[in-house]
Structure 1
Amino acid sequence: MNKLVFVLLFILFCNGLNAQRKLGGFGEKKDIVNTQDTISRTSKKGSGIKSPKAKIEDYLIISFENDTTYVDTSLTIQKEYKFNYLRKDNFGLMPFSNLGQTYNSLTYNLENTSLIPGFGARARHFNYMEIEDINYYRVPTPLTELFFKTAFEQGQLADSFFTINTSPQFNFSIAYKGLRSLGKYQHILTSTGNFRFTSNYRTKNDRYNFRGHIVMQDLLNQENGGIQDDGIESFEEGEEEFLDRSILEVNFENAESILRGKRFHLEHNYKIIREKDSLSKNKLSIGHIISFEDKYFQYDQSTANTSFFGDAFKTSKLKDRATLENLYNQLKLNYSNNIIGDLQFNVSNNNYNYGYDKIVVLNGNTIKNRIKGDIFSAGGKYHKQYRGFDLQGELGINISGDFDGNFLKAQASFKLNEDIAATATLNHSSQAPNYNTLLYQSDYINYNWQNNFTNTETQQLAFNVKYKKLANITLDYSTINDYVYFKEDETSNQVKPFQNNNSITYLRVKFENEIKVGKFALNNTILYQNVQDDNNVLNVPEITTRNTLYFSSHLFKKALYLQTGVTLNYFTKYYMNDYSPLLAEFYVQNEREFGDFPRLDFFINAKIRQTRIYLKAEHFNSAFTGYNYYSAPNYPYRDFIVRFGVVWNFFL
Structure 2
Amino acid sequence: MRHFTIVFLLLVCSGSALRAQFNTNRLPTGGGGGNASMQRDTTKHDHEPDTLTLRFRYLDEPTDFMIDSTISDFQLNYLRVPATYMTLGNNGNAARNLLLSPRMTPGFDAGFHAFDVYGYNHDNARFYNTNRPYSELGYLIGAKQEQMINLMHTQNRGEKFNFSFAYRKVNSPGFYRNQATNHDNYNVTANYNSQNKRYHIFGSYYLNKLNGGENGGIQNPADLYDPELTQLRLIPTNLGGGGAQNTSSLFNTSIATKNDYQEASILLRQQYDWGKGDTIHVNDTTDIYKFDPLFRVEHTFSYTQNTYDYVDSAPDSTWYADHYGFGIPEGGTDTVYTRHQWRTISNDVSVMQFPVRGNTAHFIKLGGGLDNIAGRFQADTISFMNFRIHGEYRNKTRNQRWDLQAKGEFYVLGENAGDYFVMGRLSRYLNETLGNVSLMAMNVNKEPSYVYRYFGSNQHVPWQNLNLDKENVTQIQFRADNKKLKYNVTANYYLFNKYTYFRSFTQSEQFAGLFNLLQLVAYKRLDLGNFTFDGDAAFQQIAGDAPVNVPAFWARLRMAYTARLFKNLNLYTGLEGKYNTPYYADDYSPVIGQFVYQNQQQFDNMPEVAAFVHFRIKSFTAYVRAENLNSFLWDYNFYAPLYPSNDFGVRVGLRWWFVN
Counterpart in 1 of 2:477? 462
1:624 is displaced (CA, Å) by 0.9
Does the C-alpha gap of structure 1 residues 214 and 384 become closer, same or farther in structure 2, counting only changes over 3 Å? closer
Structure 2 equivalent of residue 550 of structure 1: 560
Normalized against structure 1, the TM-score is what?
0.86
**Pairing 1:156–2:150 present:** no
Cα distance, 1:116 vs structure 2: 1.2
How far apart are 1:446 and its partner, in Å?
7.1
* Cα pair 1:323 1:354 within 8 Å, conserved: yes
Matches within 5 A, 1:129-208: 129-208=120-199
Question: For the Cα contact (< 8 Å) 2:444–2:472, is it kept in 1?
Answer: yes
Q: Are the counterparts in 2 of residues 617 and 641 from structure 1 also a CA contact under 8 Å? A: yes
Aligned equivalent of 2:106, options 99, 112, 115: 115
Deviation at residue 84 of structure 1 after TM alignment: 4.2
The answer to whether the aligner puts 1:338 opposite 2:356 as a matched pair is: yes
Pair 1:356-2:377 in alignment: yes
Greater CA deviation, 279-288 or 539-548?
279-288
1:630 aligns with 2:631: no
Whole-Å Cα distance in 1 between the matches of residues 556 and 627 of structure 2?
A: 14
**Cα separation, partners in 2 of 1:602 and 1:261, compared to 1, 3 Å:** same
Distance 2:354 2:67 in 1: 32
Distance 1:452 1:94 in 2: 31
Q: CA deviation at 1:76?
A: 3.7
Give the one of 181, 204, 222 matched to 1:233.
Answer: 222
Letter in 1 for 2:114: A
Report the CA distance shift for 1:309/1:36 in structure 2 as closer, same or farther (over 3 A): closer
Alignment-derived partner of residue 645 in structure 1: 653
Cα distance in 2, alignment partners of residues 465 and 151 from structure 1: 37
Distance 1:497 1:480 in 2: 17
Residues 158/335 of structure 1: CA separation in 2 closer, same or farther (3 Å cut): same
Question: What SS class does the counterpart of residue 583 from structure 1 fall into?
Answer: coil
Distance in 1 of aligned mates of 2:638 and 2:31: 36
Please give the residue correspondences for 1:65-80 in structure 2 after superposition, counting only pairs within 5 Å. Answer: 65-69=60-64, 71-72=66-67, 74-78=69-73, 80=74
Match for 1:539 among 549, 552, 558?
549
Per-residue Cα deviation, 1:221-279 (whole angstroms, up to 9, x for no partner): 22111100xx20232xx344335101110002152220012111111110022565999
- The answer on whether the counterparts of 1:179 and 1:190 sit within 8 Å (CA) in structure 2 is yes
Structure 1 residue runs without a partner (length 5+):
1-25, 42-48, 359-368, 489-493
Contact 2:275–2:291 under 8 Å retained in 1: no
Per the alignment, do residues 585 and 152 of structure 1 end up closer, same or farther by CA in structure 2, a change over 3 Å counting?
A: farther
* CA displacement, residues 616-636 of structure 1 (integer Å, 9 cap, x when unaligned): 001112121222x01211111
Q: Which residue of 1 aligns with 2:84?
A: 92
* 270-279 or 543-552, which deviates more: 270-279
> Would the alpha carbon gap of residues 501 and 277 (structure 1) be closer, same or farther in structure 2, given more than 3 Å must change?
farther
Counterpart of 1:378 in 2: which secondary structure? strand
1:381 aligns with 2:373: no
The amino acid that maps onto 2:600 is E
Are 2:287 and 1:295 aligned? no
Q: How does 1:425-440 map to 2 (within 5 A)?
A: 425-440=440-455
Q: Residue 617 of structure 1 aligns with which residue?
A: 626
Q: What one-letter code is carried by the residue in structure 2 that aligns with 1:124?
A: F
Does residue 567 of structure 2 align to residue 576 of structure 1?
A: no
Matched, 1:410 2:444: no
Other structure's SS at 1:621 match: helix
Give the Å deviation of 1:418.
1.9
In structure 2, distance between residues paired with 1:148 and 1:350: 40
Partner of 1:261: 263
CA offsets per residue over residues 314-339 of structure 1, 9 Å max, x none? 63122110000011111000001139
What secondary structure, in the 3-state scheme, does the structure 2 residue paired with 1:132 have? coil
C-alpha contact (below 8 Å) 2:239/2:315 kept by paired residues: no
Q: 1:119-154 deviations in whole A, cap 9, x for unaligned? A: 122212221322111111111121100011114423
Closer, same or farther in 2 for the Cα pair 1:651/1:355, shift >3 Å? Answer: same
Change (3 A) 1:469 1:259: farther
User: CA offset at residue 390 of structure 1?
Assistant: 2.2
Maintained 8 Å contact 1:262/1:294: yes
Going from structure 1 to structure 2, the CA distance change for 1:280 and 1:197 (only over 3 Å counts) comes to closer
Aligned to 2:17: none
Equivalent residue, structure 2, for 1:28: 29
Q: Go from structure 1 to structure 2 and tell me whether the alpha carbon gap of 1:94 and 1:530 turns closer, same or farther (over 3 Å shift).
A: same
TM-score normalised by the chain length of structure 2: 0.85
Which amino acid in structure 1 is aligned with residue 485 of structure 2? K
Q: Does 1:424 align with 2:439?
A: yes
- The residue type paired with residue 583 of structure 1 is I
Q: In structure 1, the residue corresponding to 2:313 is in which secondary structure? A: strand
Answering whether residue 338 of structure 2 is matched by residue 347 of structure 1, we say no
* Higher mean C-alpha deviation, range 594-603 or range 641-650: 594-603
Whether the 8 Å CA contact 1:58–1:70 is kept in 2: the answer is no
Any idea what SS the aligned residue of 1:233 has? helix
Q: Which consecutive unaligned segments of at least 5 residues does structure 2 have?
A: 1-26, 241-255, 281-289
| 1:393 paired residue number | 406
- 1:444 deviates by 3.9
CA distance in 2, matches of 1:282, 1:192: 42
Task: Assess, with a 3 A threshold, how the Cα gap between structure 1 residues 422 and 275 changes in structure 2: closer, same or farther.
Answer: farther
**Given that residues 151 and 180 in structure 1 are in contact (C-alpha distance below 8 angstroms), is that contact kept between their aligned partners in structure 2?**
no
2:63 paired with 1:63: no
CA spacing shift, 1:352–1:464, aligned 2, 3 Å:
same
- Counterpart contact for 1:110–1:460, Cα < 8 Å: no
Report percent identity of matched pairs.
Answer: 22
Residues 484 and 500 of structure 1 are in contact (CA less than 8 Å); yes or no, is this contact kept in structure 2?
yes
Residue 51 (1) aligns with residue 40 (2): no
Contact 2:146 2:174 in 1 (8 A): no
1:141-175 Cα deviation digits (max 9, x unpaired): 21100011114423511011111112111111122
Question: How many residues end up aligned between the 2 structures?
Answer: 593
> Which of 106, 118, 121 in structure 2 is aligned with 1:127?
118
> Is structure 2 residue 522 aligned with structure 1 residue 511?
yes
How far did residue 282 of structure 1 move?
Answer: 7.4
Q: Distance in 1 between matches of 2:509 and 2:374?
A: 23
Amino acid at match of 2:481: K
| Paired residues of 2:626 and 2:650 also in contact (CA < 8 A) | yes
For 2:232, give the aligned amino acid: R
Q: Deviations over 1:461-510 (max 9, x none)?
A: 1101233334311101111000110112xxxxx43111111112111011
The answer to whether the 8 A contact 1:511-1:527 is kept is yes
**Contact 1:548–1:566 under 8 Å retained in 2:** yes
